[in-house]
Amino acid sequence: MGLTPKPTSPAGKWLGFVTAVWMQSIGGIIYGFSNYSDALKALMNLTQLQLNNLSVAKDVGLAFGLLPGLASDRIPSPLLLLIGALEALIGYGVLWLVTAKIINPLPYWLMCVILGMAGNSGTWMNTAVLVPCMRNFRKNRGPVSGILKGYMALSTAILTDLCAALSSDNPSTFLLMSAVVPIPVCLAAALFLREIPPSSTPAEESEETRYFGITNALAVILAVYLLVYDVTGTRSSAVSFLVAVVLLILLASPLWIPIYLAIKSLVPSRSKSDSDNVEGYNLVNEPLLLGEESVEEAEKKREMAAGATVAVEQTRRPVIGEDHTIFEAFRTAEFWILFGSFLCGVGTGLTVMNNMGQIGQAVGYGDVSIFVSLISIFGFFGRIISGTVSEYFIKIAGTPRPLWTAASQIVMAVGYVIMAMALPGSLHVGSIFVGVCYGVRYAIMVSTASELFGLKYYGLIYNILILNLPLGSFLFSGLLAGYFYDAQATSTAGGGNSCTGAHCYRLVFVIMSIACIIGFSLDVLLVIRTKNVYAKIYASMA
């Protein structure tokens, strides 16, 4: 029989989830723009507004996530993964050729297209793994979104630290890894990730919860390892190989769960014939009589009743908490409140990520990789903790998930104020605050959308909501940050510009903190409007 699990077995189900974790470990490459933005700015002699518009083009690629969203219910996940891997190879591959000076920079408009293709690659890969995992683990949506999006938050730090561990801080190395690494990971996910029936008994649900707890612990160990490596700043060649090996081992560690389940399935248990006999009835060979009815007659009546129910359902509009088409979701106030609050949080957070290279330089930091890693690692903590904590409070009290995003908006606003003050250590503290709160927003949105609008059309609804990323990037990064930076900057030789001092981004941070207060108000409104939905979820878990 061997230890190779069947895709529909518990071991196969968890092996698929592990490959999804690996997929998400490279799924956040899009957030690594700061690692190579300075190189592009210098090579192309760009102003800050032009550079920010390149980052917007990258994020506009996310708008085409509508395509994988539409395709997720029509073509198999392996094909979605293949498309994503090919786009990453082309998009990041061309950027590698440019930054490595193998080819000259392409025309500006074509560089925008290339960055858009690179950004779009992640939407295919992320949709391909997120949708089946949410459906496979319906009773643990918080941990699923927290873990997957947590590893996604770590992806930039993972690739950045692997490059540093290999004694290469060259931005072209980061781009080369971004182009090549997705191919083998996509192949692994294509082989093992399948959509299969979710758990159906309390024992199975309890076992899943236990394994999610272990997966959380392994992820936290990985994040702490990355954090220690970044804080200590160890870069000697003597330990570089060991650092890389340990990092890869930690990434592989969740594999022990499907291996354990595969071994467990080999242990002899009660025969099926014994388990099929309950209270003297053989459920395989004999019809169980219900009064004067046989099982077949009872099943026929149930089918007739179900048909009548479907006919009634088709004549009414679904309520919040039931499956919605995208057009039905558009007609609800809850969808647009969620959309607006998400914009305020992720739009401003993405602006910090895209501009971190210039933010750091403005206040005197030559190397901003530590801030990129801090946002990535603490974004992980925000995602994984919020997913698990919000799930726990739903199960014990029916607490609406948006309550946690409301709290995160306040903390994020404080983070922007701290960064605007530009005191010693402000950028470190602000990066941590922004990372945590960005992570909370992302993980909670993933779960909240599935609970409010269902899982039937989830792939498309999710990709509509993440249109906030390119929209927020355009509003806060392309327009706000780019305009105010250039207004304060001085021209440099070659046609670029630069700004030095806290004033370069101070007004940008103040405006973004106000946006977070608006997002807080929207989240509070969403908490009020969804109390009944979460009360029903709580009651169903009792």
pLDDT at 496: 63
Between 4-18, 69-83, 319-333, the lowest mean confidence (pLDDT) is in 4-18
Is residue 170 scored above 90 in pLDDT? no
Amino acid at 135: R
pLDDT at 285: 39
Q: Tell me how many degrees the CA angle 375-405-124 measures, rounded to the nearest 5.
A: 65
- Over residues 179-206, the mean pLDDT reads 87
Q: How far apart are CA 188 and CA 183, in angstroms?
A: 9
325: confidence class by pLDDT, cuts 50, 70, 90: very high
- Over residues 295-317, the mean pLDDT reads 53
Helix boundaries (H) for 272-401: 272-276, 295-313, 326-330, 333-362, 369-397
- The 10s digit of each residue's pLDDT in 258-267 is 999 999 888 7
470: confidence class by pLDDT, cuts 50, 70, 90: confident
- The 10s digit of each residue's pLDDT in 119-167 is 899 889 988 998 889 888 888 888 888 898 889 888 888 887 788 776 6
26: confidence class by pLDDT, cuts 50, 70, 90: confident
pLDDT at 288: 37
Is residue 301 scored above 80 in pLDDT? no
Q: Could you tell me the two tokens for 227?
A: 């954090």
pLDDT at 358: 85
- Over residues 487-492, the mean pLDDT reads 78
**405 within 8 A of 341, measured Cβ to Cβ:** yes
| Burial annotation 465-496 (CB, 10 A radius, 16+ → b, else e) | bbbbbbbbbbbbbbebbbebbbebbeeeeeeb
Nearest to 510 by CA among 408, 410, 418, 379: 418
- The 10s digit of each residue's pLDDT in 362-392 is 888 877 878 888 888 898 899 888 988 998 9
- The 10s digit of each residue's pLDDT in 436-468 is 999 999 889 988 999 999 988 888 898 899 888
- The 10s digit of each residue's pLDDT in 503-528 is 999 999 999 999 999 999 999 999 99
Within 10 angstroms of residue 275's Cβ, the number of other Cβ atoms is 10
pLDDT at 396: 92
Q: How many helices (H) and strands (E) does the chain have?
A: 24, 4
Please give the backbone phi and psi of residue 317, each rounded to the nearest 5 degrees, phi first: -80, 135
pLDDT at 167: 61
- Over residues 337-358, the mean pLDDT reads 90
Q: How far apart are CA 12 and CA 16, in angstroms?
A: 6
pLDDT at 31: 79
419: confidence class by pLDDT, cuts 50, 70, 90: very high
pLDDT at 300: 56
Q: Could you tell me the domains of the chain? A: 1-266 (1.20.1250), 318-541 (1.20.1250.20)
